[in-house]
Structure 1
Amino acid sequence: MSNTTGQLIPDAQAFLAELAKNNSRDWFKTQKSRYDLQVRDPAQTLLSEVADYLRPHHPGIQGKLFRPQRDLRFSKNKTPYHTHVHMLWQLPGLPGAGLFFGIEANRLRVGGGVMTLKGAALTRWRSAVAGQPFTRDYPTAGLDHVAGHDASPDSGFADELAALTDILTLKRFMANAAELTRVPAPFGKTHPHADLLRRKSLTLWCDLDPKAQIVPMGTICSAALMLEPLFILLRPILTDIDTA
């Protein structure tokens, strides 16, 4: 870990606290060189360091620093700048999935998952949750016969995912809320995994102690390792490759 990334969190939090009180283009213009030196450049270094560490497991992984400027076109809030720093590591083999790290003046968050399920991926998600077996490689697929019994029509995806999220909850990762208020047709509202069926995304977030002496590189890479089973489960959902 470089010295610049080690100082990123306290420097960014101090900058963001001042920005929240002076959220104007004139103020930001006078502080632009400070933003570049204390926030943007260390964040870019952190993005590269984490990507380098994770690349053997996720070839082609790339990091992204979100721009500080807000899109004001459809917002009633006309303050020009975000009062947070958001970083994303996109996983090339899992379209739409990634790792996230966020810094606010009084909050730190790390997490990961898939931000949006749509189209064919959403169809595969709902079919898997409802119990339709995958026609591709899957951690629990291929168990045609166990102890002389016929295979269950349930792929096991939903049970395995629910168990994994329970385990991650014990590690202080909390799932985002389901987007839909009702279970989509043709699935019944009494389905045992109705919460999963009401989802159009799945991300898990861990709030970190903003006053703790946190090493960003170690924190993010540790979270990546804990979330890796989630990415393994999501792979057949997010990819179109038929491995049958």
Structure 2
Amino acid sequence: MAQFDCFSSEAVGFLQDLKANNTKDWFAANKTTYETYLKAPSKLFADDMALALRDLTGQDHGSKIFRIHRDVRFSKDKTPYNAHLHLAFMPTGQVVQPPMWFFGLSPDKLSLGCGVFQYDKGALDTFRDAMAGPLGKELIQTTLEMRDLGFRIGEPELKRIPPGFDKNHPHEEALRRKGFAVWMDAGTPDFVLEQNLTERTTAAFAELMPVFQLLSRIK
């Protein structure tokens, strides 16, 4: 059985070349490179990371490798392919929308993250109820602490507190969010070219455990 250690320079080179040559003809001529150096290793990496995250969190995890083909039906950008590799890992068997782990490799950087991009409607109501209570204060404090450590966190999506909550609520910043995700960025994609990528990615994710643990308490 094949084993995964790290991605190759050919994988990063493919993404860089695809960004510069994002056409169906170019992709067809280079499909073997994609399947050999990006698609097949990604599946091995995803399987390894699901097991590593089970060990890190104590919860079984599934994985998703996002398609390289873009959905251009409603986009002004008609380039056919994603010039990046995106993977997500999520706990299995949970009722409320759980926090996920994100791995995003682009031609010029690697981004690792944890959280929820945006809660679905039912889960958003549950999230907001939690943010109105003690977890909201914890989320605001976690935001401050992780920003001080250099992590990237987006601003709340809403300008005002949503209806149904006191407009002067002390957890205003948390209530204006539709989701919560925290990111760390590598300045270059070289991180994925070094040995023991699974172990090093898991170590990086361990720094995001406060986010995972906080959001996992939303029931």
The answer, yes or no, to whether TM exceeds 0.5 is yes
Distance 2:189 2:52 in 1: 26
- 1:56-107 CA distance string (max 9 Å, x none): 4344311211110000111111110011110111112463421001111112
Q: How does 1:50-199 map to 2 (within 5 A)?
A: 50-56=49-55, 57-92=57-92, 93=94, 95-131=97-133, 156-199=134-177
User: How far off is 1:116 after superposition?
Assistant: 2.4
Count matched residues. Answer: 212
User: Does the 8 A contact of 1:5 with 1:45 survive in 2?
Assistant: no
Q: Quick one: structure 1 residues 229 and 27, their matched pair in 2 at CA, closer, same or farther if it must change by over 3 Å? A: same
| TM-score normalised according to structure 1 size | 0.78
In the other structure, the counterpart of 2:24 is 25
In angstroms, what is the RMSD of aligned CA positions? 2.2
| TM-score normalised according to structure 2 size | 0.86
Distance 2:191 2:126 in 1: 42
Would you identify which runs of 4 or more consecutive aligned residues in structure 1 move more than 6 Å?
A: none
| Counterpart AA for 1:37 | T
Unaligned runs of 5+ in 1: 132-155, 240-244
- 1:136-179 CA distance string (max 9 Å, x none): xxxxxxxxxxxxxxxxxxxx212222222222223332223322
In the other structure, the counterpart of 2:35 is 36
State yes or no: 1:228 paired with 2:209.
Answer: yes
In the other structure, the counterpart of 1:218 is 199
Distance 1:233 1:213 in 2: 28
Identity rate, percent: 33
Distance 1:128 1:167 in 2: 20
